C-alpha cells in the first residue's frame, strides 16, 4: 500500500523531471526527449529559483517562530484560566484551525481590503491616515506579513492544544514546589516547563516547518498568484507556475523533487529527535 500511494508517485515525479516534458509530449504530438539532469541545472542556474527558495525559507521560518510563540503563550495562559473561559478559548481557536485555507484567505483579504477593509478603517480612525487606501499586497514584505498572519491564525491552535496537553501531563507537585521556593511564573516557564516540554516542542516545531514550507493556497489566493512580478513566490507556487501555467512539466517535476528532498531531510531530523528523546510525557 505504501509503494502504491507513495513510492510510485515519487518514482514518476523523478522520472518526469529527467525529460523535456511539455504540452506537446502530453498530447502525443512530440516524442519524449531524455535530458537527464538538465532541468535541475536550469533551476540551479536560475537566479529566480534562489530568490524563491530564500523567500520560502524566510517566510516559513517567520511563520514557525511566531506560531510557536503565540501557541505556547496561550497554552501557558490556558492553565491559569477558569474552566469556562479556557473552554471558550479552545473552541474559538479550534474554529480558526478548522477553517479551510481558501475561506480563511478570502476573509483575511476582505479584512485588509484597501477601501472596505476593517483594519484600514480602524487604523485611519485612530489617526494613522497613511492607511487610507493602503494596499497590503503591493509591497513584498507587507504582503508576506499579511499571508503570514493568516497562516499563523490557522496554525497556532495546534501548538496551543498540544503544548497545553503536555503541561497538563507535568506533575503539579513540581510546579507547586517551585512556587513554594519563590520562583516567579516566567522562571517556572523557562526553567521547569520548557525543559520538560522539550519533546513536545520538538514535535510541533518540525511539523510546523513541514506545513509552512509547503504553503500554497494562502500565497496563491492572497497575492494573486505570487505578487507583483513574482515578488511573493514560494517554491510550491513557483512549481505550479512552471508545471501548469508554463506547461514545463519536467521543470515543475524537478522543483517537486527538490521540495520532496528538503522535506524528507526535515522529516529525518524529526524522526531522529523522536528517537533521541525516548518515551513522550
The whole-number pLDDT of residue 272 equals 80
**pTM of the complete model:** 0.87
Residue 239 has a pLDDT of 92
List the domain boundaries for the chain: 35-276
Whether the predicted pLDDT of 202 surpasses 70: yes
Would the pLDDT of 260 be above 50? Answer: yes
Q: Rounded mean pLDDT of 166-176?
A: 85
Task: Give residue 245's pLDDT.
Answer: 86
Residue 280 has pLDDT above 50, yes or no: no
> What is the C-alpha end-to-end distance of the chain, expressed in Å?
32
Q: What is the mean pLDDT of residues 207-222?
A: 91
Residue 275, pLDDT > 80, answer no
What CATH architecture does domain 35-276 belong to? Orthogonal Bundle (1.10)
Residue 220 clears pLDDT 90, i.e. is over it: yes
Helices (H) and strands (E) in the chain, counts: 16, 2
pLDDT, residue 32, reads 84
Residue 278's pLDDT is what? 55
Mean pLDDT of the chain: 89
81, exposed or middle or buried, with CB in 10 Å at 0-12, 13-18, 19+?
middle
The answer to whether residue 271 scores a pLDDT higher than 80 is no
Closest CA to 147 of 89, 63, 244, 211: 63
Residue 273: the pLDDT is: 73
Amino acid at each position: 500500500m505504501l509503494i502504491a500511494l507513495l513510492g510510485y508517485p515519487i518514482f514518476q515525479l523523478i522520472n518526469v523531471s529527467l525529460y523535456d516534458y511539455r504540452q506537446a509530449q502530453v498530447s502525443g504530438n512530440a516524442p519524449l526527449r531524455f535530458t537527464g539532469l538538465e532541468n535541475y541545472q536550469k533551476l540551479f542556474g536560475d537566479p529566480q529559483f534562489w530568490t524563491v527558495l530564500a523567500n520560502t525559507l524566510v517566510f516559513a521560518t517567520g511563520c514557525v517562530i511566531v506560531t510557536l510563540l503565540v501557541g505556547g503563550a496561550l497554552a501557558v495562559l490556558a492553565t491559569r484560566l477558569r474552566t469556562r473561559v479556557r473552554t471558550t478559548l479552545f473552541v474559538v481557536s479550534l474554529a480558526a484551525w478548522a477553517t479551510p485555507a481558501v475561506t480563511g484567505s478570502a476573509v483575511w483579504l476582505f479584512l485588509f481590503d484597501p477601501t472596505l477593509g476593517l483594519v484600514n478603517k480602524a487604523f485611519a480612525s485612530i489617526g494613522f491616515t497613511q492607511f487610507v487606501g493602503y494596499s497590503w499586497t503591493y509591497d513584498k514584505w507587507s504582503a508576506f506579513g499579511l499571508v503570514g498572519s493568516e497562516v499563523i491564525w490557522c496554525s497556532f491552535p495546534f501548538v496551543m492544544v498540544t503544548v497545553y496537553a503536555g503541561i497538563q501531563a507535568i506533575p503539579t507537585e513540581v510546579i507547586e514546589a517551585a512556587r513554594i521556593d519563590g520562583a516567579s511564573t516566567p522562571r517556572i516557564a523557562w526553567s521547569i516547563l520548557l525543559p520538560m516540554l522539550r519533546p513536545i516542542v520538538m514535535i510541533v516545531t518540525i511539523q510546523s516547518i513541514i506545513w509552512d514550507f509547503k504553503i500554497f493556497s494562502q500565497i496563491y489566493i492572497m497575492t494573486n498568484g505570487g505578487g507583483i512580478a513574482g515578488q511573493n513566490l514560494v517554491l510550491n507556487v513557483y512549481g505550479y507556475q512552471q508545471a501548469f501555467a508554463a506547461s514545463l512539466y519536467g521543470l515543475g517535476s524537478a522543483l517537486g523533487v527538490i521540495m520532496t528532498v528538503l522535506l524528507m531531510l526535515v522529516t529525518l531530523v524529526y524522526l531522529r529527535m523522536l528517537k533521541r528523546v525516548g518515551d513522550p510525557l
